[in-house]
Amino acid sequence: MKTDDLVSMLANGEVAVPRGRRRASYRIRLAVLLGLPFSFAILFAAYGVRNDIVQAMFWPMFWVKVLFPLCIAAAGFVAAERLGRPGVKPRHAWMGVALPVLGVWGLAAIAWFTLPADQRMPSLMGHSWRICAASIGLMALPVFAAALVALKGMAPTRPALAGAAAGALAGGVGASIYALHCMELTAPFLAVWYVSGIAVPVLVGALLGPRLLRW
């Protein structure tokens, strides 16, 4: 599609660009594939995988810790792919971001009110609350940067939302990778510190989007 045609379409109201889905999906997938090796490199070089990883795979909360961020990442992927195309709305993709968060908050509320009072704060703070959110953000950074570059090469008409979607994708990926190192398994910890770590790239993406994704 020529630039003049695209401008004319947008001047008449946002209209979805035809035949752009495959290209947009390819660019976002490529961004994830390019960013992932660097995220894993940060994990192995600076953190390492937990020593009991095989045993941990038999614990339900380990999979909650790994999978709820992956669900957020998947929803962020869909939102970024759609927002990268002019006139295409994210539809229910944001619900896909919110539902895993609401789910882990629900688990945290149940755990909080069923735990003895003297165990509540330890379950919330764990042993690594000081570094958790920052570590997730660090591991999300390669995918985040690659996703922004991919979106920059597209034509998002809602740059703030597109940047936030890139942040959700990267934050979910970063949290899932960090989960391979993290020893914490309590729902209150995940509900506060993991969600905070994912929220950081979402907010940063929303702030950077209007500056970096304008066209």
Q: Which candidate, 44, 26, 35, 42, places its Cα nearest to that of 169? A: 35
Tell me the C-alpha distance between 121 and 112, whole Å: 9
With a cut of 90, say whether residue 121 has pLDDT above it. yes
Domain ranges of the chain: 41-212
Report in angstroms the alpha-carbon separations of 11 from 6, 7, 77, 160.
9, 6, 28, 20
Tell me the C-alpha distance between 71 and 160, whole Å: 21
> How many Cα atoms occupy the beta-carbon half-sphere of 164 within 13 Å?
12
Crossing angle between the packed helical segments 129-152 and 195-212, to the nearest 10 degrees: 30
The alpha-helical segments, DSSP class H, found in the chain are 3-11, 21-42, 53-56, 60-83, 93-114, 117-125, 129-152, 159-178, 187-189, 195-212
What is the reported pTM? 0.89
Phi, psi of 187 (to 5 degrees): -60, -40
- What is the predicted pLDDT for the residue at 173? 98
With a cut of 60, say whether residue 3 has pLDDT above it. no
With a cut of 70, say whether residue 111 has pLDDT above it. yes
What are the pLDDT digits (tens) for 136-154? 999 999 999 999 999 998 8
